[in-house]
Structure 1
Amino acid sequence: MSGNRLYPERPMLAASVAVLRGDRILLAARARPPLDHIWSLPGGLVEPGETLAEAALRELKEETGVEAQMIGLIRPIEYIDRDPEGRIRHHFVICAHAARWLAGEGEITAEALAIRWAREDEVADQPTTPGLLPVLEMAFAIGREAGGALTSS
């Protein structure tokens, strides 16, 4: 994907996915800046010709080895980071999705320093990317609405 992620000319479009597996959700500790070593959802930039859902599932597979099936769009998250002079260093619009787990335990990769399947009550005490907690709450709610559609293991 072309385009400068650092000091971009315009916001970068990205997609992420909250994968639900029974009463747990997949979190990955980011391996790259910005916000490296912080728990987040797998995701990345949308490539030309990809839908948001396709991008989220591709990034999930590349970053963690996990496969999932989409069950809903959660909401967009905006991440805007300014340098000490006030210039925009990063600007991402990330469309977060909810999905149900199909396969894979999660693998550490160049994108993910660590993987964990966390229960809803375990997330609040963890260092997470800005805006992630409300997204996870919505993902768990979508999962509860889907009921029997979630696979537990």
Structure 2
Amino acid sequence: MTWNFSAERVDTPDATALRRDYFGDVAGRYFGRVLAEDEYDEDMIDDGLGLLAPPTGAFLVGRYEGKAAACGGIVLLDGDRAELTRVFLRPAFRGLGGADLLMTGLEDAARALGARRMVLNTRLDLVEARALYVRHGYGEIPAYCSGPYMEIWYGREL
């Protein structure tokens, strides 16, 4: 039973399916129900994807026993900071150690791009994600951006 993480283009079939599942999960929690297929807004799912590739970022896909199970991205904000985004594990693969490996891989990717600090924003209801970030040494920071789905901001030195 092994995990394998690698950088991948965001438009591969596995990466696209994972991003769509991520959006379905976070939007579904926000609205308190599973979204219907016609409620997915492709513009939202695809927003900012061009930045999730070198030299401005990276996107990792995690596979558990060969099955696409996790994803996450980083985007360089400036010379020192990278932003963590789209961190997601499919529910069937949670509790198998993949989240910690994904975080390590994303932090390594940020360092490789020259970042010395990682920041992120999230919602208060995403308690599993917030627990993961705190477990990895992230602490609350002042807001560095704003948006309708941003309620709390975290950061840490790499």
> With structure 1 as the length reference, what TM-score do the two structures score?
0.29
Higher strand share: 1
Asked which structure has the greater RCO (Cα within 8 Å, sep 6+), the reply is 1
